[in-house]
């Protein structure tokens, strides 16, 4: 595993659970935003993230999935792959289908508990948009704090209001996904670096 140590990455803001995760690579677990709807194959955010981190990144996003549907496939799509870090990205379709934020939070909480019980780091991607999804934003933050998970804020901030970064009304294009990947990378890099250090000190 090779992750660039750069001065600008700094130190992880706080200790995250399973910082010494022994798995391999990153799994991006979510819906169409993870799948890369609106862009060509290889232009999704997990593909861009793989180029930045230089470690394996697996895309297990499914277009149209809600958190309920995601929870049903967590064993085969996530846990059976022995990841180092799982990035959970759900909520957009829950909101569109008027699933209560409390239900979404309950599903994501189950995901977090299952993943962390396997000794794996978890990151929660915040897909809330402005005040219309404020309740979801609060739940994402609460869960990240409760379970010492990594919180990736404002995944879509400034993207859905800029036509040059969108493929349609609610999905980014290749440039938009690249911006998402950069946001994810900036947040998770200190934790990936800390993971490497934790393993070196244990040798």
Query: Distance between CA 82 and CA 100 in Å, rounded?
Result: 31
Give me the number of domains the chain comprises: 1
pTM > 0.85: yes or no? yes
Q: Which residue has the tokens 């947040």?
A: 187
% residues pLDDT > 70 (the chain): 91
Residue 62 is assigned to a structural domain of this protein: yes
The packing angle between helices 174-202 and 45-53, to 10°, is 40
What domain range is 74 assigned to?
25-202
Query: Distance between CA 46 and CA 29 in Å, rounded?
Result: 10
pLDDT per residue as tens digits for the range 155-167? 999 998 999 999 9
Query: Residue 85's domain is classified under what CATH number?
Result: 3.40.50.1110
For 131, residues 6+ apart whose C-beta sits below 8 A from its C-beta are none
Residue 114 is assigned to a structural domain of this protein: yes
Residue 182 is assigned to a structural domain of this protein: yes
Residue 15 is assigned to a structural domain of this protein: no
Strand-pairing partners, residue 85, are 26, 121
pLDDT per residue as tens digits for the range 31-62? 999 999 999 999 999 999 999 999 999 999 99
Residue 70: pLDDT over 80? yes
Residue 16 is assigned to a structural domain of this protein: no
Residue 86: pLDDT over 90? yes
Residue 20 is assigned to a structural domain of this protein: no
Q: Which residue has the tokens 């008027």?
A: 98
Residue 179 is assigned to a structural domain of this protein: yes
198 pLDDT band (50/70/90 cuts)? Answer: confident
Residue 137 is assigned to a structural domain of this protein: yes
Q: Are 26 and 125 in contact (CB under 8 A)?
A: no
Question: What is the secondary structure of 10-55 as a DSSP string?
Answer: ---SS--TTTT----SEEEEESHHHHTTTS-TT-SHHHHHHHHH-S
């Amino acid at each position: 595993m090779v992750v660039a140590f750069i001065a600008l990455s700094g130190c992880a803001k706080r200790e995250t659970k399973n910082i010494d995760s022994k798995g391999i690579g990153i799994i991006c677990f979510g819906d169409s935003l993870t799948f890369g709807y609106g862009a060509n194959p290889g232009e999704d955010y997990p593909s861009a993230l793989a180029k930045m981190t230089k470690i394996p990144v697996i895309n297990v996003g499914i277009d149209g999935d809600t958190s309920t549907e995601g929870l049903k496939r967590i064993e085969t799509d996530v846990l059976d792959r022995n990841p180092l870090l799982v990035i959970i990205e759900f909520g957009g379709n829950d909101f569109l289908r008027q699933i209560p934020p409390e239900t979404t939070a309950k599903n994501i909480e189950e995901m977090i508990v299952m993943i962390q019980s396997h000794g794996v780091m978890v990151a929660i991607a915040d897909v809330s948009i402005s005040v219309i999804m404020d309740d979801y934003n609060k739940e994402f933050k609460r869960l990240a704090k409760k379970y010492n998970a990594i919180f990736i804020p404002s995944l879509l901030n400034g993207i859905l209001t800029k036509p040059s970064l969108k493929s349609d009304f609610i999905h980014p294009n290749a440039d938009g996904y690249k911006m998402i990947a950069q946001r994810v990378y900036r947040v998770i890099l200190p934790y990936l670096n800390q993971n490497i250090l934790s393993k070196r000190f244990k040798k």
